[in-house]
Structure 1
Amino acid sequence: MTARSAQAHRDTSPVGSTPDKTRRPGYAPVTNVGVGRRGMHTRDRILACAADVFLTHGFHSTSLDTIAKAANASRATVYQYFAGKEDIFRELSTSAGRDMLIHGEHLGELGPTVAGVEELHRWLADWADIYDTHAAVFAEFPGIGTATGLSVIDTGEVAEQYRLMVTERLRHAPLDGLDLHDAAAVLGRIPHMVNLYRHRAMFPLPDRSVVSWSLTVALQLMLFPDTPADILRAAAPQVVASAGTPSAVVEPTAAITRVAAVLLSPIAQDVLSVSSALFAEHGYYAVSMEEIATATELSRATLYRYFSTKDRILAELTRRAVAEIEEHAAALPQMAQSSLRDWMLRYVRFHRNYRGVIRAWLDGTVAEQMSDADIDHGIGAIQRAVAALLDTVALPVGIEPQVAVAVFLAVLGRMNEPTAAAEADSDERAAELMVNLLRRSLLRAA
């Protein structure tokens, strides 16, 4: 991961970030009826400035004072239009959700034809526009396809509507060897993650137009692996010449010092295990030290003897996750294709065990708190391993190697989750699906 966007507020309190100052009564009217054109202009300016601040600092490290300063307004002025930063973010989130649902409705007919590839490309290019427009919102969520988000925003309804909408659009597509719900998950999750990598410059990627075309080819082959190469050439000529360029990899920022595993007491081990599960279910910021103490059946005083703050728990979980991810990364480039499923199954189990921690890494404001662990090294290790593996295969025509790495990482990061609400969760099924998607697209020539 490259340099992060901004310094974040460090959570040193036992229970998490300090909320906004208590709002003084009488600032805002019950409704903003009749604010007039000037008032709407001020309101829109506050929203736009808040989006920039949220994107730079993250929701939890942003105060209402920061938003007011960015908008060149007083707290009193902001309160004339919004009840607090949660209200502002809720409106930004509503706008993003509305655009996503409209986007889902506009998915046209897909298939192994030039028209089908061009339609997929148009839709993915629109996806990139939407991501860039609402990046402040998308940065706070794991992505479309899951219900987990901020505690102040319920994203589950929009995510489910979007999933059902895309599923219905694909119902009559000539999918072969891929379940309908799996195909919908591909279109919902992988573009989100690739655009996240692109927007945050987490590792080298070409310009947005090349990313969109290469992503189009990769997803086209995941959905329709029998799409002829001449159709891909005809639909995406501008990226054909890029295929075969050596993949750029993220160099480690510093060699990680191997430290002997810390021998923790059973109580501390239990705290880590419970915390990891809570972070995965609710998100790092939504979990308090008090909730961790309750879940581990400890008093707060006892918990603080082992971990004085929540970020210390995350730091220790990160240290352990980085050590494991480096082991997985080291094994990947030498992995025979016949053994890829076994590697993937181990990776799925690792990722599910640490998914709350890994999601926290993607939040720059959380990552800034990780003084005791090198997150960049963990993410960089798997990125370099994927690039090394893909350098050993001939990528399909039209897929730029750096984008291929991003697509591979998106599969690792998001396709291990269940793809349908009623689907039974299984490590084995997830690993099988992930290998299938990669063999249909990036690893087909291996």
Structure 2
Amino acid sequence: MSETTPITRRASYGPSSPEIGSRGANTRTKIVEVSLELFGEFGFFNTSVDAIAKRAGISRATLYQYFPGKDEIFLELLNVCGRALFRVARRIGPLGPTKVGFDNLNWWLGEWSWVFDKYSTMFVQWTSVAATDTEVLPEINRFTEGYNQHIADRLADCDLHGLEPRAAATAIVALVHRINLLQYTDRVYGRDVETLIDSLSVFLQLFLFPDTPTEVINSLDLRVPPVAAIDIPDAPKTAGLSIEDRTASLTKRAANTVRKLVDAGSAQFAQRGYHRTSVDDVVDHAGVARGTFYKYFADKQDFLIAICIEGFHGIDVLAAQLSEIDISAPGNPELREWLSRVAQFMRQYAGSIDAWTEHRSDSTVVAELGARGQAVLDSAALADLNRHRRDYPFDPVVGAVIFRALVSRLPQATEELTPPLSEDETVTLMMACIARGFFAGGTQT
């Protein structure tokens, strides 16, 4: 999706084809614009070619003159937002532990947020769309790898200490994208974009350059609202919906079958995404008959609810464990062990968590479970972050959101690298993010 690696299209109706003319170019632009609107309103999967043609004021046959289908329109939009991100990245000034370097980082994150907001529909949905067996996934992978490499090349010129540029770039891209997503989906406790960007700037500045003097961080007029507690909502009523409730009166053999279905569903949701996974995918993976699924679950959403209940019970346990760990202690082996457990947990339940994070389910139970799971984990992180004294502006509530983004997204992001990082390397990277970004503290000069 970079300007140097364009997508191959049919020669007769490409955007620069001389056969189109100005009228045809306007029609093509109109198709792309209304598709972005419809994808935002109804989602990629719930938007039909007929709906796009109708809103564009053209026939279905005319639309097919410009695009073979929805996938190609999606790729066109990805090209547009991808080029915007690359343009911003190419304009980054020198980074480093200086006032100019910090100002350049803060500017970059602000511009990145602006691009995300403008093309939020694409950024929110591209993970689920990429999970389909279409030509979209290779293009997204190509863009992600190219963008990560571009950032890594910039970081290689910055005299980093204790960080490998490729790993650092992966952490930055994963965190910024996830924070933007959480802000867009209203998962940041009412913090506005500017407040998020300012505290994220501080975190990333110290992650990259932990020796940054305090006066450098204080050189910008950063926004920090009053410290607030995080309210933990009550757990939703789930009687009869959990795996335990569903299997309480079953034979051991039947309970094992349910367990096979749940494990298969978790794996398929993580691999394909909730929306793209069908009941057939689940039963095929579990090796059971389709009718067996419906003996225990009403439909796919009912199945998701059961998995989410199990997953968010796991988050309660992880949050309780986190509250007993001093995350500020350098090289804390308890933290390292906890992060390893979190990485394994996120791999298992990634698809279910994403279904809530990215608004892929209409279930109020899933939404309420997600809100509680988020708040419980964030509250545990906030307690540790509040104990650390800082001589520079930083919002601990945003810090808790960063911590959640870090542990929920980075394990998956490092698996998407070529070659991927090992689990031990991923945990080491997360340890570095926490130690440097949250607790380097700045230095006095």
In which range does the TM-score fall when normalised by the shorter chain? 0.7 to 0.9
The 3 A distance-change label for structure 1 pair 443 and 91 is: same
Give a deviation string over 1:43-70, Cα, whole Å, max 9, x none. 3233223212212322122233444455
TM-score (norm 2): 0.81
Question: Which residue number in structure 2 is paired with residue 19 of structure 1?
Answer: none
Query: RCO greater where, 1 or 2, for CA within 8 Å and sep 6 or more?
Result: 1
- Distance in structure 2 (CA, Å) of the matches to 1:198 and 1:73: 36
Structure 1 position 161, deviation (Å): 1.2
Contact 1:361-1:375 at 8 Å conserved across structures? yes
- Distance in structure 2 (CA, Å) of the matches to 1:369 and 1:65: 28
Question: Which residue number in structure 2 is paired with residue 435 of structure 1?
Answer: 431
Structure 1 position 162, deviation (Å): 1.3
Contact 2:199-2:395 at 8 Å conserved across structures? yes
Question: Which residue number in structure 2 is paired with residue 393 of structure 1?
Answer: 388
Give a deviation string over 1:3-47, Cα, whole Å, max 9, x none. xxxxxxxxxxxxxxxxxxxxxxxxxx9637644434433432332
Give a deviation string over 1:57-92, Cα, whole Å, max 9, x none. 221222334444554556555445433333322211
Query: Is 2:351 the counterpart of 1:360?
Result: no
Structure 1 position 160, deviation (Å): 1.1
- Distance in structure 1 (CA, Å) of the matches to 2:231 and 2:54: 36
Contact 1:186-1:219 at 8 Å conserved across structures? no
- Distance in structure 2 (CA, Å) of the matches to 1:369 and 1:95: 33
Contact 2:356-2:366 at 8 Å conserved across structures? no
The 3 A distance-change label for structure 1 pair 404 and 137 is: same
The root-mean-square deviation of aligned C-alpha atoms, in Å, is 3.0
2:236 equivalent among 256, 265, 268: 256
Structure 1 position 318, deviation (Å): 0.9
2:46 equivalent among 61, 70, 74: 61
Contact 1:332-1:343 at 8 Å conserved across structures? yes
Contact 1:205-1:211 at 8 Å conserved across structures? no
The 3 A distance-change label for structure 1 pair 436 and 247 is: farther
1:121 equivalent among 106, 129, 134: 106
- Distance in structure 1 (CA, Å) of the matches to 2:214 and 2:392: 7
The percent identity for this pair of structures is 28
Structure 1 position 129, deviation (Å): 1.7
Give a deviation string over 1:108-152, Cα, whole Å, max 9, x none. 432111121122122212211211121111001349xxx954543
Contact 1:64-1:84 at 8 Å conserved across structures? yes
One-letter amino acid of the counterpart of residue 362, structure 2: E
- Distance in structure 1 (CA, Å) of the matches to 2:310 and 2:152: 38
One-letter amino acid of the counterpart of residue 257, structure 2: I
Could you tell which deviates more after superposition, 320-329 or 218-227? 320-329
TM-score (norm 1): 0.81
Contact 2:206-2:436 at 8 Å conserved across structures? yes
Q: Which runs of 5+ in 1 are unaligned?
A: 1-28
- Distance in structure 2 (CA, Å) of the matches to 1:118 and 1:150: 40
1:302 equivalent among 287, 292, 299: 292
Contact 2:297-2:303 at 8 Å conserved across structures? yes
| Count of residue pairs brought into register by the alignment | 408
Could you tell which deviates more after superposition, 276-285 or 332-341? 332-341
Correspondences of 1:211-222 after superposition (within 5 Å): 211-222=196-207
Q: Which runs of 5+ in 2 are unaligned?
A: 1-10, 248-253
Give a deviation string over 1:226-278, Cα, whole Å, max 9, x none. 111011112x2233xx27x21363552x4334757233621121121122122
Question: Which residue number in structure 2 is paired with residue 43 of structure 1?
Answer: 28
2:13 equivalent among 17, 31, 34: 31
Contact 1:167-1:184 at 8 Å conserved across structures? yes
